[in-house]
């Protein structure tokens, strides 16, 4: 069984399964580009630029 990773279109979290593990939304993309792992969002410029305020793996670009 292959489970494909998806990127949430709402918050850009990369997750496996039926719905986003971060915000619970279901709209997603499996054609995201790049990924970033945020450890400390409050200290990450990247997270700030992307509007991310939680830990986890996020897609840099999704469509």
Q: Give the contacts of 40 (CB within 8 A, at least 6 positions apart).
A: 55
Least separation in angstroms between residue 7's CB and Zn ion is 9
Q: Smallest gap, in angstroms, from Cβ of residue 5 to Zn ion?
A: 13
Instruction: Summarize as ranges the residues that interact with Zn ion (CB under 5 A).
Output: 8, 10-11, 13, 20, 22-23, 25
> Residue 1 or 47: which CB sits closer to Zn ion?
47
| Cβ-based nearer residue to Zn ion, 24 or 48 | 24
5 by Cβ neighbours in 10 Å (0-12 / 13-18 / 19+) ranks as middle
Q: How far is the CB of 40 from Zn ion (least distance, A)?
A: 19
**Residues 32, 41: Cα–Cα separation, whole Å:** 21
């Amino acid at each position: 069984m292959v489970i494909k990773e998806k990127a949430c279109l709402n918050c850009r979290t990369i997750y496996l399964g039926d719905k986003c593990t971060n915000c619970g939304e279901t709209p997603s993309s499996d054609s995201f580009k790049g990924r970033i792992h945020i450890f400390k969002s409050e200290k990450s410029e990247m997270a700030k630029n992307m509007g991310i305020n939680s830990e986890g793996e996020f897609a840099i670009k999704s469509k």
